[in-house]
Amino acid sequence: MTLWWIGNAILLLVVVPVLVALLNRVLAALERIRQAADDILDGGVALTRELDDVPEMLAVTDATVHDVSVGAVRYAGSVAKLLG
């Protein structure tokens, strides 16, 4: 019976504090992961707000590309006449 009490005392004085310390480290790491995930979510939401104007920007870009291509074709036609 004495060994039983010694075993219980060792369990309470050694094993339980070690388990509590390990659990504390795991929970601290989990909290850091949760905070990082929240930061990533906030960044993603902010990024989607920046993408609202993309269709209008693409329309302007398409018009600019069309104007440049028309000018390039005219220039190439003139150069072809000079070299031809």
- Domain containing residue 48: 2-83
Predicted confidence at residue 24, as pLDDT, reads: 97
Opening angle at CA 42, ends 36 and 44, nearest 5: 105
Tokens at 32, concatenated: 């850091």
Domain count, the chain: 1
pLDDT for the residue 50 = 85
Cα 32–chain centre separation: 15
pLDDT in tens, 29-71: 999 999 999 999 999 999 888 888 888 888 888 888 988 999 8
**Residues 6 or more apart from 32 whose CB is under 8 A from it?**
none
pLDDT for position 59:
83
Q: If we measure between CA atoms, which residue out of 53, 73, 77, 55 comes closest to residue 65?
A: 73
Q: Which residue has the higher pLDDT, 16 or 21?
A: 21
